[in-house]
Chains A and B, each alone.
Chain A
Amino acid sequence: MDNNPFTGDWMAGWQNLQRKMWEDWSEVTQSSWSNSWQQDNPMNFFKDGMSGWQKMFAMPQATPEVMAMRHAMGSMEEFMRMGREVFKMFQNMSEGANLTQDWTAQLDKSIQQAKAMFSQGQDSFQGAMGQWGKLDGMNAMMGNPMMNNPMKAWSDFLNTNPIFANDTMRGMLAGGQASEEAMMRFLSVPGVGFNRERQEKMQEGMRLILEYRKTFEEFQKLMNETSKKALDKLHKKLLEMGAEGKPLQSMRDLYVLWVDCNEEANAATVTTKEYNEINSRMMNALMRVRRNMAENMDSAMGSMNLPTRRELDSAHRQIASLRRRLSALEDALQELKGKDSSAEIHALRDDMEKLGVRRLRDELADLKRQLEESSSAPTLSVVESVGTEATPEKSAIKKTVRIGNAKPAMVAAPANKGE
């Protein structure tokens, strides 16, 4: 097969792929996707197909298999999205002039465009949350969250974990420039009158949210720089492959190469002092927001005579203290019952076991029995000698058995298997 990317029709190929995907998923899901919108957007199967699949097989929400399948669908969606962009890129390139010679310039152009996406409007909170997935062309391949970068993992975590975020907080954080200006105006108003303290608390809360937003944007900026470095690495590796005459053989190879580049860039970033400092500041700022919100919530709950976090904490602290006292009393009681006074006996028994006293007793009994059995034979006598070393395994105990006038025979004792 001719593997030249520029000998076929990429757009026709993409359409062909969409049709095949449509057929496959329709077959699996028993034609439950029979509308033209799905047919035109087969990648939606990976999102929507998940819920259909769960319903069809009555799968629960959070089992390992459902979670893993959800991740697989997500990864597949991004893999396909990458495929779409590669198709598009090759189509564009094959429509250009003198491909075989200009490919380095084309590649350089694509990489630069992708890097530019990380420099434009991406340092804001809205940019971070909203711009992923809106990119196009080669840029989308490089810049979308197909690899679920740390930023996305982090934002997913914030968005799904009620401990860290709720609707109010998300709304305030995603308010945009206008809301930030409104907040600044509000913050500049001095607290007066009957509600002065409440107003100050609200102002403090907003100040903390702005602080968190600022640190989040710093973090985003750092990760954007990391993404640019990953693009540089990809660029360099592709050029090397071209120079060495070792081209990528599959879409999967491209995916793996891209993952490797991102991991390398990420590893270099997360080990820096700058990352540690920004990441910690962001975490600390988030905690201050969260604590402020909890305190306000506590005040509201208290005013309605409902249990507050403060009260629960106090109760839990007392429970822990009572547990400790109870445990200490039980230990003391055990000691009084004499359990621990037998410690020395335990230790001695332990040492005796180690010395193999039980085995010596067995051997002695054995010898006595032999003696008794041989007592009727007038020419037999038994003499025994025991080694003096403490560890029986190291110095096998030797028995000297004398029969009549014969020379003594040395017999090794059996190894002690119980130790």
Chain B
Amino acid sequence: MFPFAINPEKAVEELTRFNKKLAAGLKTFTEVGQIESGISAKEAVYREDKVTLYHYTPKVENPHRVPILVVYALVNRPYMADLQEDRSMIKGLLDEGMDVYLVDWGYPDASDRYLTMDDYINVYLKHCVDYIREKHDIYRVNLLGICQGGTFSLCFTALHPDRVRNLVPMVTPVDFHTPDNLLSQWVRNVDVDLLVDTLGNIPGDLLNVTFLSMNPYRLTGQKYLDMVDLLDDKVKLKNFLRMEKWIFDSPDQAGETFRQFAKDFFQKNGLIKGSVKIGERRVDLSNITMPVLNVFATKDHLVPPNASKALKQYVGSSDYHEFAFNGGHIGIYVSGRSQAEVPPTIANWLKERG
């Protein structure tokens, strides 16, 4: 049997209908208005250079007494965690009675080229943690690190275990050499020194192209054809555009930080080998003795589950738990199901541990 059941009339009708939808959609585009993101009320409470510490307004009168500090990655922007009213991990945590802070690394420019991981972890992050400790008159805070921010959180906790009460790494790479880690394979033979020495800061566009290359046909072609189906629904279109904004809102990476992260973590897999040094001190994951809730996504194509689950073997904590979310690297923050599963799981786990 011929594998096409399409006659000329049917094909013309289909393409005409599709074309009409796209043409009509032009008007919808002009009507969606400002694409806002980051919906929860927050206040900038501490600033240092381009780094800002935000405090979200609690939703309950007496929030949990130990605040959570959310540490986002340097890649993309942190409003992914607070994207829209019905897609916000931050809102979910606030609804659960948690007191939430977030560190926003800002947009590095050429003057930040020489910022190192030491600066990010032992200066900026440490100062944010100390601000919270002082403000709340507590000795230790809860840390929740996202992706690369999770790796930063692991380093910080290993170096300053006396400042962290509970640790929640989310979709965090730990073992960078699992066979299914495509990003790691791609960067393995790149001359990182040459790259940084040539470009200075690493352009966000370069990272975007790299991520898109993992599913180039779907992400640069089919996705936008599928978008035409949303054009008669302003709300859905706006949600699509909000995600687009986030995907391409890519800060450049401070050159020296990228150099160390790419070489020591991606190329040498130093975090689990214990060979990473931040400043003058070696990062030893066995120093992480406080409770750990390791959250990962089972369909994560950027940070494969095994890259995260490796943490169990290396931390010194006897109170180690895992939460496997059935979804992807982004879906864990923005899918409908994640709203019902992820924040309550994290909040309850923290509440049980005081």
Are A and B co-members of a single complex? yes
* CB-CB contacts below 8 Å: B236-258 with A: 240-242, 244-245, 248
Contact B224 A266 (CB under 8 A): no
Contact B138 A148 (CB under 8 A): no
Contact B244 A316 (CB under 8 A): no
Residue of A nearest to B246 (CB): A64
* Interface 9-mer from A6-14, A122-130, A188-196, A371-379: A6-14
- Whether a CB of chain B sits under 8 angstroms from the CB of A165 is no
Main SS at interface, chain A: helix
Give Cα distance in the complex from A316 to B111, angstroms.
Answer: 5
Contact A249 B5 (CB under 8 A): yes
Contact B32 A65 (CB under 8 A): yes
- Whether a CB of chain B sits under 8 angstroms from the CB of A135 is no
Give Cα distance in the complex from A128 to B23, angstroms.
Answer: 32
**CB of B180 to closest CB in A, whole Å:** 9
Contact A339 B215 (CB under 8 A): no
How many contacts between A and B, using CB within 8 angstroms?
A: 272
- Whether a CB of chain A sits under 8 angstroms from the CB of B12 is yes
Contact A251 B205 (CB under 8 A): no
CB-CB contacts of A202-228 with B at 8 A, as 1s and 0s?
A: 000000000000000000000000000
Name the one of A25, A248, A262, A277 contacting B23, with C-beta atoms under 8 angstroms. A25
Name the one of B15, B186, B203 contacting A276, with C-beta atoms under 8 angstroms. B186
* CB-CB contacts below 8 Å: A149-189 with B: 149-150, 153-154, 157, 161, 163
**CB of B228 to closest CB in A, whole Å:** 6
Main SS at interface, chain B: helix
- Whether a CB of chain A sits under 8 angstroms from the CB of B110 is yes
Give Cα distance in the complex from A193 to B225, angstroms.
Answer: 61
- When distances are taken between beta carbons in the complex, the residues of chain A under 8 Å from B218 are 259, 263
- When distances are taken between beta carbons in the complex, the residues of chain A under 8 Å from B222 are 75, 147, 255-256, 259
- Whether a CB of chain B sits under 8 angstroms from the CB of A294 is yes
Residue of A nearest to B27 (CB): A28
Determine the interface band of chain B, counting residues with CB < 8 A from chain A: 35 or more
Contact B2 A103 (CB under 8 A): yes
Residue of B nearest to A334 (CB): B130
**CB of A197 to closest CB in B, whole Å:** 22
Give Cα distance in the complex from A157 to B220, angstroms.
Answer: 13
Contact A24 B191 (CB under 8 A): no
Give Cα distance in the complex from A259 to B216, angstroms.
Answer: 9
- When distances are taken between beta carbons in the complex, the residues of chain A under 8 Å from B18 are 76, 79, 252
Residue of A nearest to B252 (CB): A163
15 contacts between A and B (CB under 8 A): A1-B10, A24-B16, A28-B23, A53-B26, A65-B241, A68-B241, A71-B224, A71-B227, A149-B217, A157-B209, A248-B4, A250-B14, A255-B225, A320-B114, A350-B139
B residues near A (Cβ < 8 Å) are: 1-12, 14-16, 18-20, 22-27, 29-30, 32, 35, 49, 62, 65, 110-115, 119, 123, 133-134, 137-140, 162, 182, 185-186, 188-191, 194-195, 197-200, 203, 205-206, 209, 212-218, 220-225, 227-228, 240-242, 244-245, 248, 351, 354
Query: With A59-B29, A280-B191 given, can you name 16 additional A-B contacts, CB distance below 8 Å?
Result: A4-B7, A64-B241, A65-B35, A75-B221, A86-B6, A100-B2, A107-B3, A153-B216, A163-B199, A243-B1, A247-B4, A255-B225, A284-B190, A287-B191, A287-B195, A316-B114
